[in-house]
């Protein structure tokens, strides 16, 4: 997915997740003053770590615009399925299946790398940028 906004140095200002709807909404304030949102649908894995009063984006990695290696996919999705005190294990078969769905554009892998604050990883089937 190619984004319409420049998210470098943007602030992640809001995060809402509905497990019942398998939906995630991230809200941003970009350096140019725009306030886009990203709506994720059919979320199968998500983790937001260290969300606090200031959450500055270094970069966004979003498939298929960013090509992830199978090992990167496994690492990110394993982290997204883990918690601070629990590390989820993933079978080779499951890792290969997820990597294949990302490669075939059936799933989208989203990674927010922070300069400060929140780190986000989500695996979903749909991602829409909303102005």
Residue 24: the pLDDT is 98
pLDDT for 39 equals 98
| The residue to which tokens 């304030």 are assigned | 29
Distance CA 13, CA 101 (A): 30
62 CB neighbour count, 10 Å cutoff:
21
Instruction: Give the per-residue pLDDT at 90.
Output: 84
**68-127 pLDDT tens trace:** 999 999 999 999 998 877 777 788 999 999 999 999 999 999 999 999 999 999 999 999
- pLDDT at position 95 is 92
Separation CA 23–CA 15 (nearest Å): 11
Joined tokens for residue 60:
């966004």
Overall average pLDDT of the 7-11 stretch: 97
What pLDDT, on a 0 to 100 scale, did the predictor assign at position 96? Answer: 95
86, β-bridge pairs: 83
Q: Which helix (H) or strand (E) holds 96?
A: helix 92-103
- Cβ(12)–Cβ(55) below 8 Å: yes
Give residue 83's pLDDT.
81
Per-residue pLDDT, 82: 87
pTM score: 0.95
Give the pLDDT mean for 15-30.
98
- For residues 120, 121, 122, 123, the Cα torsion angle rounded to the nearest 10 degrees is 170
Kindly give the pairing relationship between strand 126-130 and strand 37-41: antiparallel
Give the torsion through C-alpha atoms of 45, 42, 37, 61, to 10 deg: 50
> For 37-49, how does the pLDDT look when each residue is reduced to its tens digit (9 = 90+)?
999 999 999 999 9
| Both structure tokens of 34 | 């725009």
């Amino acid at each position: 997915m190619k984004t319409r906004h420049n998210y470098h140095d943007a602030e992640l200002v809001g995060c809402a997740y509905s497990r019942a709807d398998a939906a995630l909404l991230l809200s941003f304030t970009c350096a140019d003053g725009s306030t886009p949102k990203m709506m994720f649908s059919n979320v199968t894995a998500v983790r937001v770590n260290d969300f606090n009063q200031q959450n500055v984006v270094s970069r966004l990695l979003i498939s298929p615009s960013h090509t992830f290696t199978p090992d990167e996919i496994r690492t990110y999705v394993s982290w997204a399925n883990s918690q601070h005190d629990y590390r989820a294990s993933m079978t080779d078969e499951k890792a290969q299946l997820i990597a294949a769905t990302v490669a075939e554009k059936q799933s989208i892998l989203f990674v927010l790398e922070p300069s400060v604050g929140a780190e986000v990883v989500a695996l979903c089937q749909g991602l829409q940028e909303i102005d």
